[in-house]
A = this chain, B = another copy of it.
Amino acid sequence: MIRNTKLPLLMVNVLFLMFFTIFPFSTEAQTRQAGPWWPNTEWGSDDQAGASNRITPQKVLEAMSLATTGKIYELGQVYEESMPLFGSRSYSMILPAKGPAFADNRLVGNQEFLATQIGQVGTQFDGLGHIGGEVVMENGATEFVFYNGFTAKEMDTSAGLQKLGMEHVKPIITRGILIDIASFKNIARLPNSYEVTVEDVLGALKRQGISEVDIAPGDALFFRYGWSSLWLQPEAYNANPPGIGLEVARWVAEKKVTMIGSDSWCSEVIPNPNPGLAFPVHQELMMKNGIFNLENMQFDELVQDNITEFMFIVTTIPFKGATGSPVRPIAIR
Contact = CB atoms under 8 A, between A and B. Distances in A.
B321 A327 contact: no
A184 interface: no
Contacts of A110: 97, 119, 129-132, 161, 323
Nearest to A7: B140
A108 interface: yes
A140 B142 contact: no
From A109, A153, A329, residue with most partner B Cβ within 10 Å: A109
A306 interface: no
Given A79-B320, A104-B277, 13 more contacts: A1-B100, A5-B136, A11-B18, A88-B92, A90-B90, A94-B158, A95-B159, A97-B157, A101-B142, A111-B118, A141-B141, A314-B315, A315-B315
Given A156-B99, A315-B328, A318-B328, A133 B118 contact: no
A159 B277 contact: no
A316 B328 contact: yes
A246 to B, nearest CB: 10
B332 A133 contact: no
Nearest to A102: B278
A72 B279 contact: no
A235 B77 CA distance: 28
Nearest to A156: B97
Contacts of A104: 28-30, 276-277
Given A103-B277, A108-B152, A112-B322, A332 B118 contact: no
Interface of A: 1-2, 4-5, 7-8, 11, 14, 18, 28-31, 55-61, 64, 67, 69-72, 74, 76-81, 88, 90-120, 129-136, 139-142, 144, 152-153, 156-161, 167, 170-171, 173, 276-280, 282-283, 313-324, 326-330, 332
A132 B108 CA distance: 5
A101 B134 contact: yes
A135 B106 contact: yes
A152 B112 contact: no
A150 to B, nearest CB: 11
Given A106-B30, A327-B317, A117 B118 contact: no
A96 to B, nearest CB: 3
A8 B21 CA distance: 11
B106 A72 contact: no
Given A112-B117, A139-B140, A160 B313 contact: no
Contacts of A173: 72, 332
Contacts of A330: 171, 315
A142 to B, nearest CB: 5
A158 B18 contact: no
Nearest to A327: B317
Contacts of A72: 55, 57, 60, 170-171, 173
